[in-house]
Structure 1
């Protein structure tokens, strides 16, 4: 083995990082504070660049069998008038492949299967990390993939950057019928989205200001175009997931520290969900970190981490900044000006 690494966190970024490092010949272990891998959530958008990264990690076969293409999505007003198209066709033309959607549980299972195939990567559940310094002392490389409240980030990067609320709450769920239309509907201070996720089902998400009980959510979209009211009345609120939208602020000056500590995913750049790039950036982080480590080797690990930081930090932070800006734009109360600007987007 080239070196020893411990990955803190068994989400998408953590599992992908562990796979990449093990493929590079490192001895890897993973620790997760939860008692099992979290499979909550609905559809995740996977951009062609992230698809390519999954291919380089050897996860593409298991992943591709459960993903569906995302095409023909529009931005609409609450009355149903089309304002613009999402740039999915341009993405597909440029990349030669479409954006894909996959349920989070399916992606997690694909990553776990790829990790299990090595047969020698221990994944320990129910382990809260309190002493990051002990991990750093006992391993050549420590990777913080432990989310927006990362203990690795707090220990080695300080607590200046942390979770910041943006004042809105997201709701997500899955309807047991196909919506027939896909895209996002933008209202005043709120929006509603629908995407495919698998045959016969529709992934949906909604954002509203402040704290809203599940029973009140349909009222925020009363009178909106079909099938939005139907989705909210014909799906079981017990299966809905709600969370306050947050992002990491201020942006970190580096994703690496001390020549042997690195951050990936939300630990490094948690963002609002508006661009649908959270999972993609985590996968891209993981693949880039593993590739740089493989290229430089254990003896030049500080150089490998600098290479990872140079490759990923500005790119990921631009996405995070863009997502936060889009959140403000989508939820503005000045809908007339916003809708006029949206109409100027290329179709």
Structure 2
């Protein structure tokens, strides 16, 4: 009997765990090494779009995610004054693409993926680095705590500041600061209706999204110099300083957040695409390969796509050919939205808002198709599946 192929995954975020599960299902022996002591206990939400739900179907998790997540229904876009620029019925996405955009707590999906791995496959507090990417003739080599191990395949899902990417492509500039910093938090939903969707102002936006457990996921982004933090570390106070004069109920929602539960991160993006997503026997995946701004909600979705394509082919040249153009397109789409958010002068904001209002009359599903109308490799039908019955919010 032939020996099972050995795969090492560096990083246990959504992309790394998805790759490990996909490879395990293809018959690989998988070891996942995570530097942190615990898996993402991050109190934030995660939008899973139709393209990522199809990828999760391949992993056997699609229906489980649909069962626990909230389907997005009505939403829209407002000015900071509260005036609606456009309203959207997000159920149209499900009718057009066979699945909705669903939202669940990020740690829930991380837990689902980790729970499906073989016992002992995941090791935390275990930094790992590639010391030899290998070649067709020899395996890659990875240094792990107090040891080295060979690997037929290394999946580097080690994030925006990927040490593996820097080692494989030392002349590449890596991700660049987008100009935006972002905040995320979760609050208990009030007992009165809250307008859902996004609110755009001068060089900033906020968003309100329901979670399945009676909470709301709040996010915000604003132009700011890189590397800053709020005085005394109180990011809730910083949110209120920046957004406290915006329309209700945003100030009250931010005020309801626990200061220690507000996360702040500078936003970096891969402005210059990598020449390849692989070298030797090492594949880059997720943010390590194509970090993008969050303005299209596709970062984690593209990482899950990466995982499914990689495990399906295991031919790294084919992986790069399949993934680099698509992921680069998603980076560019997110950058275009970021440029619109970044507008600050009053005339430019008025012109932008007029354009957004007019965009509400355009065939939005056609505009969304490049993101959502993706099929996993091996999918034998181009038609979307029948829409599933809507899930009651909070169920």
TM-score by length of 2: 0.80
Moved more, 44-53 or 218-227: 218-227
**C-alpha distance in structure 1 between counterparts of 2:28 and 2:129, whole Å:** 24
Q: How far apart are residue 80 of structure 1 and its match?
A: 1.3
Q: Which residue of 1 aligns with 2:360?
A: 346
**C-alpha distance in structure 2 between counterparts of 1:75 and 1:48, whole Å:** 21
Q: Which residue of 2 aligns with 1:132?
A: 131
Moved more, 170-179 or 56-65: 56-65
Aligned residues between the structures: 333
Residues 90-239 of structure 1: pairs in structure 2 closer than 5 A:
90-115=92-117, 118-119=118-119, 122-133=121-132, 136-137=140-141, 138-178=150-190, 180-210=194-224, 211=228, 213=230, 214=235, 215-239=237-261
Moved more, 204-213 or 31-40: 204-213
Q: How far apart are residue 55 of structure 1 and its match?
A: 1.0
Moved more, 243-252 or 86-95: 86-95
Which secondary structure does the structure 1 equivalent of 2:292 belong to?
coil
**C-alpha distance in structure 2 between counterparts of 1:177 and 1:332, whole Å:** 31
Which secondary structure does the structure 1 equivalent of 2:270 belong to?
strand
- Would the aligned equivalents of 1:132 and 1:152 in 2 still touch at CA under 8 Å? no
Which secondary structure does the structure 2 equivalent of 1:30 belong to?
strand
TM-score by length of 1: 0.91
Runs (5+) with no aligned partner, structure 2: 134-138, 142-149, 362-395
- Would the aligned equivalents of 1:4 and 1:139 in 2 still touch at CA under 8 Å? yes
Across the aligned residues of Structure 1 and Structure 2, the Cα RMSD in angstroms comes to: 1.8
Inter-CA distance 81–237: structure 2 relative to 1 (3 Å threshold): same
2:268 equivalent among 237, 246, 265: 246
Structure holding more helix per residue: 1
1:20 equivalent among 19, 22, 25: 22
**C-alpha distance in structure 1 between counterparts of 2:229 and 2:80, whole Å:** 19
Moved more, 133-142 or 74-83: 133-142
2:319 equivalent among 301, 308, 312: 308
**C-alpha distance in structure 2 between counterparts of 1:46 and 1:156, whole Å:** 30
Inter-CA distance 283–183: structure 2 relative to 1 (3 Å threshold): same
Q: How far apart are residue 87 of structure 1 and its match?
A: 7.3
- Would the aligned equivalents of 2:153 and 2:282 in 1 still touch at CA under 8 Å? yes
Inter-CA distance 86–114: structure 2 relative to 1 (3 Å threshold): farther
Are 1:80 and 2:94 matched, yes or no?
Answer: no
- Would the aligned equivalents of 1:143 and 1:261 in 2 still touch at CA under 8 Å? yes
**C-alpha distance in structure 2 between counterparts of 1:109 and 1:5, whole Å:** 21
Q: How far apart are residue 305 of structure 1 and its match?
A: 1.4
- Would the aligned equivalents of 1:270 and 1:320 in 2 still touch at CA under 8 Å? yes
- Would the aligned equivalents of 1:165 and 1:244 in 2 still touch at CA under 8 Å? yes
1:281 equivalent among 270, 283, 302: 302
Inter-CA distance 291–130: structure 2 relative to 1 (3 Å threshold): closer
Which secondary structure does the structure 2 equivalent of 1:162 belong to?
coil
Which secondary structure does the structure 1 equivalent of 2:160 belong to?
coil
- Would the aligned equivalents of 1:172 and 1:242 in 2 still touch at CA under 8 Å? yes
- Would the aligned equivalents of 1:129 and 1:151 in 2 still touch at CA under 8 Å? no
Are 1:49 and 2:63 matched, yes or no?
Answer: no
**C-alpha distance in structure 1 between counterparts of 2:92 and 2:312, whole Å:** 29
- Would the aligned equivalents of 2:53 and 2:99 in 1 still touch at CA under 8 Å? no
Inter-CA distance 321–254: structure 2 relative to 1 (3 Å threshold): same
- Would the aligned equivalents of 1:186 and 1:331 in 2 still touch at CA under 8 Å? no
**C-alpha distance in structure 2 between counterparts of 1:169 and 1:86, whole Å:** 27
**C-alpha distance in structure 1 between counterparts of 2:60 and 2:111, whole Å:** 14
